[in-house]
Structure 1
Amino acid sequence: MDVEPAPRYHAGMTLQTWWLFLGAVFLLSGTPGPNMLHVMTRSARYGLGPSVFAMAGCLSGLVLVLIAAAAGLGAVLAASPLLFEILRYAGVAYLAWAGIRAWQGGGTAADPATGLVRAPSAVGLFRGGFLIGVSNPKLLMFVAAFLPQFIDPAHAQSPQFLV
């Protein structure tokens, strides 16, 4: 008895693979991590307007790491556990340093009318979000261990990464 292959949806992925990937990414994105904590603290401290620049920085960092994964970073990290560990611990060290700086800067006086602290420049907020984004160990784990499971090497990889 011949079994027909599962119908392809797009970019070489079956519909079942799409749903599995979507569910897993939804769960992973919903778990608190450095990006979420960074944006929440910026929002609470400076308000929604300035925190948009921190969000844009985090998102830019995420996109850059995903582009690097599409260019082969995941394969390099999988082939070199030492490099992966170095990147992971460098990210942890940066996040710890950023956390200590945020904790030490907690004594800045807030505006009595709004309860908010005067925000740094838009560039500073973006840069901070970007650095948190690219140094996020959770994202590095996603790119090196999780994402490659959903990429079918028998089909064009660019559309799969784009999706």
Structure 2
Amino acid sequence: MDYPVLLLYVFSVVALISTPGPVVMLVMNASLQQGPVHGLKTILGTNAASLVLIAITALVINQVFAINAFLLTVLKALGCLYLIYIALDGLWHVYRTRSVGIEPVGGEQRSKDAGFQKGFMVGISNPKDIIFFASFFPQFISISPNRHLSLSILTVVWIALDLAILSFYVFLMSQKKIKRYKTLIILLSSLCLLLVAMIGLVYSVRELLA
């Protein structure tokens, strides 16, 4: 076992997951708007998406098929569009809360039920994760002489760290001191998510037109 490479992988995953991005912002918003249970459902959705991306990466590493660059760019563009929808939904939540003075209730149950699906959609189309699994993940396959063992270890480490870090965000958002700034946090995270999605969409369109 190449422990220095494994340690580098752990640091890379921690930095990737804990850095505020589409998934973190989605989990934060879900926890603040619908509660910690909804936030955990969202995490399970993003985790399932990660498993799909890892499975695709494993097939590429084993030379079952190659990733089509055009389709990858299309997926990133569609993901950015979905992130824009999520961001606008968060901004609408803030507008309704501030203008009416109460939490919006329209479609609340449907939103709760869609936590897993929304988490999966954001996770599977998250440009940051796609780039990581397509470009960086294969570089850590040398942690052991056995490729299948390496893939298993890398997958388990990713899932464990992903669950732990995102669950911490859910726990943080459930604290009373944080809830005092609930509307402000949703506003800022939605604006950041919108900015990230818009920039990603511009780059994706440029790649498609190039």
Aligning the two structures, in what range does the TM-score lie when normalised by the shorter sequence? 0.7 to 0.9
Scaled by the length of structure 1, the TM-score of the pair is 0.75
- The corresponding residue for 2:109 is 120
Take 1:116 and 1:160, find their aligned partners in 2: how far apart are those partners? Answer: 47
Q: When you count helix as a share of all residues, which structure comes out higher?
A: 2
- Which of 32, 35, 46 pairs up with 1:44? 32
SS in 2 for 1:120: helix
| Percent of aligned pairs sharing the same letter | 23
CA contact (8 A) 2:50 2:123 kept: yes
Q: Structure 2 regions of 5+ residues with no counterpart?
A: 154-210
- The corresponding residue for 2:53 is 65
Count of residues in correspondence between the two structures? 146
TM-fit CA distance, 1:101: 3.0
CA contact (8 A) 2:5 2:143 kept: no
Q: 1:41 to 1:64 in 2, by over 3 A?
A: same
Take 1:127 and 1:23, find their aligned partners in 2: how far apart are those partners? Answer: 28
Q: Structure 1 regions of 5+ residues with no counterpart?
A: 1-8
Deviations along 1:106-142, one digit per CA (max 9) or x if unpaired, are: 44459x9xx7665434431111111111111101001
CA contact (8 A) 1:46 1:117 kept: no
- Which of 116, 125, 132 pairs up with 1:135? 125
Q: 1:99 to 1:15 in 2, by over 3 A?
A: same
CA RMSD of aligned residues (A): 2.8
Tell me the amino acid that sits aligned with residue 57 of structure 1: G
Take 2:104 and 2:37, find their aligned partners in 1: how far apart are those partners? Answer: 13
Which runs of structure 2 are paired with 1:5-154 in the superposition (5 Å)?
Answer: 9=1, 14-72=2-60, 76-77=66-67, 80-108=68-96, 119-121=108-110, 122-152=112-142
Take 1:25 and 1:153, find their aligned partners in 2: how far apart are those partners? Answer: 15
Return the index of the structure with the highest Cα Rg: 1
